Structure 1
Amino acid sequence: MPVVIVTGASSGIGRATALRLGRAGVTVVLAARRADLLDEVAAEIGTAVVVPTDVRDPAAIEALVARAREVDGRIDGLVNNAGLGSSPSILARDDAVTEMIDVNLVAPIRLMRAVIPIMREQRSGSIVNIGSVAGEIGLAGAYSATKFALRGMTDSVRRELAGTGIGVTLIEPGFIDTGFNTRKNLPGPEIVAAAVERALRRPRRRIVVPWKYRPAITAATTLPFLADRLLAGRAGRRD
């Protein structure tokens, strides 16, 4: 039975991913700060391992990976999902910016550094990093910055590990209904969970969900002046 670590597993995309993987027969190692919420997710799955984890703490990351390896002597997958948002303005508080960088960027790097030696030894494994469309189109301040950086790191790690049997995929969701978004008629986190499951089984370079954001990304990349015009006054503002 494959063993997969899912961070941020207590709610939203992480919870949906853990439930989907659990139903597929994966032993899911659930990581998040709130043990009570993780216990609820584990109860729904039935075969999950709960490891309360603050991903900002390097020692907690090491303990998480060690516990995951104890399950069956291997780690087949890592889903770097834990993430924070904050004010989209450059004027956001310094402590909020620092925390976002620690959770959205530094923690995934540390987790990859912890699991890659194990996966190299196995000659197999799959890493899925949850980025964002905001990591392609700059409009959310420091949050966008962390997701741009995660995209670059994911590309670099994928190229570094080419030929090792370890797949590395970046999934970039657009606006998703995770219970905190005020927009209406948004797709639920299950659409991202389905993409994660596919990526774990068959790694791909990048997956954008929903697909409707792909043209916007292409336009922002090839026609940046147009993106500047369309997004003028919107970046740095919550809708």
Structure 2
Amino acid sequence: MSYPTTGPATWFVTGTSRGLGLELVRQLLDRGDNVAATTRSAHRLDEALGTADRSRLLPLQLDLTDGDAVTAAIRTATERFGAIDVVVNNAGYGFLGAVEEITDAEARQMFDVQIFGVWNVLRAVLPDLRAAGSGHIVNISSILGLTAFPGWGLYSAGKYALEGLSESLATEVAGLGIKVTIIEPGYTRTDFLRTSSLGLPERVAEGYDAIREMTEAHLAMPGTQLGDPVKVVAAIIEVAVGGKAPLHQLLGSDSYGLAKGRVAALTDDIEAGRELALSTDI
């Protein structure tokens, strides 16, 4: 059992000052659960929560790329609440630009947050979860962790890496009482597509007019996305409370449709290359 059957659960959630992370903190506090909420700006989180009851909240201003600081944050949360039951790796941001346009610094920054920050959290929390023989790790990916669009190469690269990490982790800890779920939302009405959460390349190259047009379309999209962030967060909580979700939990009709299309296209590729694939055995 990864979720307590009695008393409040304790959640460790990253990236909580806006978007799905902030909504998750709100709903968890309303439930009466304990929340250790990491953010790069504790002041922004405090302002965003408004009049919410903070008696079960532990705000942690934290740079997830600092492994020692992450370990200290996990220790602080454990000392405050006794144990961590659910870990939600949510911190992240979008990036729109052609592969050719991405600088080394932009690529490394994305992986620092999407992968190495997650890895720091996992390394810090897994010893305690193993010792307890329970726990649930929820990694927030995206439908772009299963498929890819032009202009989203950097973001998809990070999410594809997160998917691979999560799938390996799930098999490693399955016998230790620890569950892993990958959440793959579609377009959701948060500020993810606003410039506060969406990176753009420092320089642009000629010939990518379609990507420039798509960038403008995405920047104009906020307020029209299909996904309801309140319902998405309620679904994430249901995944942790119920403990019966599949490894890959899609959220949103757009995400579901795109995933089905990706499976069909991949199947077509596999079968198209079957003859050559089977010809290379010794």
TM value normalised by structure 2: 0.76
Q: What root-mean-square deviation, in Å, do the aligned CA atoms of Structure 1 and Structure 2 show?
A: 1.9
- CA shift, 1:225, in A, is 9.5
**2:60 alignment partner, one of 51, 60, 71:** 51
> Which whole-Å CA distance do the structure 2 matches of 1:9 and 1:15 have between them?
5
1:223 aligns with 2:265: yes
**Greater shift in the superposed pair: 102-111 or 194-203:** 194-203
Indicate how the Cα distance of structure 1 residues 129 and 42 shifts in structure 2: closer, same or farther if over 3 A, else same.
farther
**1:3 alignment partner, one of 10, 35, 39:** 10
Indicate how the Cα distance of structure 1 residues 161 and 208 shifts in structure 2: closer, same or farther if over 3 A, else same.
same
- CA shift, 1:105, in A, is 1.1
Q: Who is 2:253 aligned against?
A: 211
Contact 1:3 1:74 in 2 (8 A): yes
Secondary structure at the counterpart of residue 66 of structure 1: helix
Query: Which structure: larger Rg?
Result: 2
Q: Who is 1:37 aligned against?
A: 44
Contact 1:17 1:192 in 2 (8 A): no
Indicate how the Cα distance of structure 1 residues 45 and 200 shifts in structure 2: closer, same or farther if over 3 A, else same.
farther
> Which whole-Å CA distance do the structure 2 matches of 1:77 and 1:219 have between them?
32
1:195 aligns with 2:204: no
Secondary structure at the counterpart of residue 175 of structure 2: coil
The letter for the 2-side match of 1:149 is A
**1:15 alignment partner, one of 22, 44, 69:** 22
What are the Cα deviations for residues 24-48 of structure 1, in whole angstroms up to 9, with x where unaligned? 1110111010010222338514220
Secondary structure at the counterpart of residue 8 of structure 1: coil
1:177 aligns with 2:189: yes
Contact 1:8 1:82 in 2 (8 A): yes
Q: Who is 1:163 aligned against?
A: 175
**1:120 alignment partner, one of 130, 137, 140:** 130
What are the Cα deviations for residues 94-140 of structure 1, in whole angstroms up to 9, with x where unaligned? 21111110101111122112111101111111110000001111221
> Which whole-Å CA distance do the structure 2 matches of 1:57 and 1:188 have between them?
33
Q: Who is 1:231 aligned against?
A: none
Q: Who is 2:98 aligned against?
A: 89
Secondary structure at the counterpart of residue 162 of structure 1: helix
TM value normalised by structure 1: 0.88
The letter for the 1-side match of 2:239 is A
> Which whole-Å CA distance do the structure 1 matches of 2:103 and 2:84 have between them?
37
Secondary structure at the counterpart of residue 194 of structure 1: helix
**2:146 alignment partner, one of 125, 136, 149:** 136
Q: Who is 2:210 aligned against?
A: none
Contact 1:177 1:189 in 2 (8 A): yes
Contact 2:93 2:192 in 1 (8 A): no
Contact 1:191 1:210 in 2 (8 A): no
Percent identity over the alignment?
Answer: 32
> Which whole-Å CA distance do the structure 2 matches of 1:101 and 1:11 have between them?
20
> Which whole-Å CA distance do the structure 2 matches of 1:7 and 1:134 have between them?
20
Unaligned 5+ runs, structure 1: 228-239
What are the Cα deviations for residues 38-83 of structure 1, in whole angstroms up to 9, with x where unaligned? 2233851422011101112112211211111112321111100000
Contact 1:86 1:92 in 2 (8 A): no
Q: Who is 1:235 aligned against?
A: none
- CA shift, 1:215, in A, is 2.6
The letter for the 2-side match of 1:215 is G
The letter for the 2-side match of 1:32 is T
The letter for the 2-side match of 1:146 is G
Indicate how the Cα distance of structure 1 residues 73 and 42 shifts in structure 2: closer, same or farther if over 3 A, else same.
farther
Q: Who is 1:28 aligned against?
A: 35
Indicate how the Cα distance of structure 1 residues 149 and 24 shifts in structure 2: closer, same or farther if over 3 A, else same.
same
